[in-house]
């Protein structure tokens, strides 16, 4: 329980609560909380669960991980559950980006629904030369639906806590229950009809919808990385304008 006692003091201080204040929220006495913080007594299971829920921290992290070493902003709560993403940093406390490998087994592992820390624990990491706050991850993309971003690129996304926060017209990587990882321009229609409208940058692909309850994760586009040289376009401007007009009419119909 040594880590637990450290974590409770750390979390209480981060929440700017006194022992009396936290004890009242947990419906226990200050003396009882003090005994837990000092390691003189071990809390029962039901109180451990209550503490984990109050601080929105998974119970295993509360008991096994030194949260103070990770820092106050190291975790991001996911919408609707208690699984938290640790923000990876290097020895200089610079944020790192986890890279999802570009192979079938890796993609299957990511989409299998395994606990996030089980899958991502040994991923390669990279760092951007500029600061972006939040949890970042790089996903491989294939195909030409998001040209001019070429197939084989890695798209870097910033984790979005709640699907309700998705902004219409912005680019997102969406992880669904299908399972599937898709990179599209998103139009948020959740309040209206419970759907996300997904639009490719390449106008030769038709927009489609995804039910909001099928979304597992959402990552807002930050940047992309590619080794490919820019290629000459094979699409005339008139073709692009005609296709954009067609898509615009279909979006209005769907809306």
Higher-confidence residue of 6 and 248: namely 6
Say which residues have a Cβ less than 8 Å from residue 169's Cβ, sequence separation at least 6.
Answer: 185, 186, 187
Total number of domains constituting the chain: 2
Among 30, 51, 72, which residue terminates a domain?
72
Q: Are residues 123 and 198 in the same domain?
A: yes
**Within a domain: 42:** yes
Greatest Cα pair distance, the chain, in angstroms, is 76
- CATH number, domain containing residue 155: 2.10.109.10
Identify the bridge partners of residue 39 per DSSP, sorted by sequence position: none
> Which structural domain, as residue segments, surrounds residue 230?
84-254
- SS3 of 242, please? helix
Whether the CB-CB separation of 174 and 181 falls below 8 Å is answered with yes
Candidates 10, 21, 15; CA nearest to 71 is 10
Quickly list DSSP for 65-91. S-HHHH-TT-EEEPTTS--EEEPPB-T
Q: Are 175 and 216 in contact (CB under 8 A)?
A: yes
pLDDT value of position 130: 76
- Note the pLDDT tens digit of each residue in 116-151: 444 455 567 777 777 777 788 888 888 889 988 888
Q: What percent of the chain stands above pLDDT 70?
A: 70
Beta carbons of 158 and 136 less than 8 angstroms apart? yes
pLDDT of the residue at 114? 42
224-233 pLDDT, tens digit each: 988 776 555 4
Q: How does the average pLDDT of the chain come out, rounded? A: 78
Q: Give the list of residues 6+ apart from residue 104 with CB closer than 8 angstroms, or none.
A: none
The verdict on residue 100 lying in a domain is yes
Beta strands per DSSP E along 67-207: 75-77, 84-86, 97-99, 125-126, 136-140, 154-159, 170-176, 180-189, 195-199
- pLDDT recorded at residue 106: 41
Any domain includes 78: no
Q: What is the pLDDT of residue 148?
A: 87
Q: What is the pLDDT of residues 173-216, one digit of tens each?
A: 998 877 788 999 999 999 999 999 999 999 889 999 999 988 88
Hey, how many other C-beta atoms are within 10 angstroms of the C-beta on 28? 16
pLDDT at 255 over 70: no
Based on the fold, state whether residues 59 and 119 are members of the same structural domain. no
C-alpha to C-alpha distance for 186 and 153, rounded to whole angstroms: 19
Same domain as 137, residue 45: no
Q: What are the tens digits of pLDDT across the range 54-91?
A: 887 777 778 877 777 665 445 544 444 444 455 565 66
Helix (H, G, I), strand (E, B) or coil at 98: strand
170 with 184: CB under 8 angstroms? no
How far, in Å, are 25, 149, 224 from residue 142 at the CA level?
50, 10, 13
Give domain status of residue 79, yes or no.
Answer: no
The reply to whether 250 and 125 lie within a common domain is: yes
pLDDT of residue 217: 85
The verdict on residue 55 lying in a domain is yes
Looking at the structure, tell me whether residues 175 and 248 fall in a common domain: yes
């Amino acid at each position: 329980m040594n880590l637990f006692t450290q974590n409770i003091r750390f979390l209480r201080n981060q929440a700017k609560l006194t022992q009396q204040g936290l004890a009242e929220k947990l419906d226990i006495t200050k003396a009882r909380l003090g005994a837990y913080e000092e390691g003189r007594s071990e809390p029962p299971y039901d109180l451990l669960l209550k503490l984990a829920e109050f601080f929105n921290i998974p119970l295993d992290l509360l008991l096994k991980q030194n949260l103070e070493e990770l820092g106050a902003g190291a975790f991001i709560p996911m919408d609707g559950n208690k699984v938290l993403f640790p923000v990876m940093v290097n020895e200089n406390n610079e944020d790192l980006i986890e890279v999802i490998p570009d192979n079938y087994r890796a993609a299957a592992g990511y989409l299998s629904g395994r606990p996030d820390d089980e899958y991502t624990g040994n991923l390669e990491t990279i760092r951007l030369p500029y600061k972006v706050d939040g949890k970042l991850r790089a996903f491989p993309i294939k195909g030409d639906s998001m040209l001019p971003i070429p197939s084989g690129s890695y798209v870097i996304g910033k984790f979005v806590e709640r699907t309700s926060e998705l902004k219409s017209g912005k680019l997102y990587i969406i992880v669904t229950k299908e399972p599937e990882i898709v990179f599209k321009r998103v139009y948020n229609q959740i309040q209206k009809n419970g759907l996300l409208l997904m639009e490719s940058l390449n106008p030769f692909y038709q927009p489609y919808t995804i039910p909001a309850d099928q979304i597992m994760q959402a990552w807002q586009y930050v940047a992309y990385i590619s080794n490919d040289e820019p290629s000459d376009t094979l699409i005339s401007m008139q073709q692009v304008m005609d296709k954009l007009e067609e898509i615009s009419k279909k979006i209005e119909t769907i809306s």
